[in-house]
Copies of this chain bind each other. A is one copy, B any other.
Amino acid sequence: MKKTAGIIAEYNPIHRGHQYHIQQTRLLTQADYIIVAMSGDYVQRGTPAVFDKYHRTRMALLSGADLVVELPVCYATASAEYFALGGIWTLDSLGIVTDLCFGSESGDLASLLALAKLLSHEPEDYQTLLRACLKKGVSFPVARREALLSYINTYPDLPKSQWNKLLESPNNILGIEYLKALNRLHSSIHPHTVLRDGACYHETQLPDSSIFTSASALRRALADSAPFKQLAPYLPSDCRTYFQQILASGELLWTDDFSLLLHMRLIQENADSLTCYVDVTPELANRIENRKTEYRSFSQFTELLKTKELTHTRIQRALLHILLGITELSFPPYIRLLGVRKESRELLSLIQKHSSVPVCAGTGRALRDLPASSYGLIRQQLYPSELYQSVLSHKINAPYVPEHSRPLIVL
Contacts and interface: CB of A to CB of B under 8 A. Distances in A.
Interface in A249-275: 259-261, 263-264, 267-268
A394 B261 CA distance: 11
A405 interface: yes
Contact of A399 (B296, B401, B405): B296
B260 A293 contact: no
Contacts of A402: 267, 292-293
A45 to B, nearest CB: 22
B261 A260 contact: yes
Contacts of A260: 260-261, 390-391, 394
Contacts of A242: none
Contacts of A261: 260-261, 264
A386 B270 CA distance: 13
B268 A400 contact: no
| A interface, size bucket | 20 to 34
Interface in A366-411: 383, 386-387, 390-391, 393-394, 399-402, 405
Contact of A383 (B259, B268, B405): B268
A398 to B, nearest CB: 9
Interface in A339-371: none
What's the number of copies of this chain in the assembled complex? 2
A267 B399 contact: no
Contacts of A294: 399
B383 A267 contact: yes
A253 B325 CA distance: 28
A264 B263 contact: no
B259 A394 contact: yes
Nearest to A405: B293
A295 interface: yes
Interface in A280-302: 292-296
Nearest to A264: B261
B387 A264 contact: yes
Contacts of A405: 293
Nearest to A389: B267
A288 to B, nearest CB: 14
A29 to B, nearest CB: 40
Given A293-B401, A294-B399, A295-B400, 6 more contacts: A260-B391, A261-B264, A263-B390, A267-B402, A293-B400, A293-B402
17 contacts: A259-B394, A260-B261, A260-B394, A261-B264, A263-B390, A263-B400, A264-B264, A264-B387, A264-B390, A267-B383, A267-B390, A267-B402, A292-B402, A293-B400, A293-B401, A295-B400, A296-B393
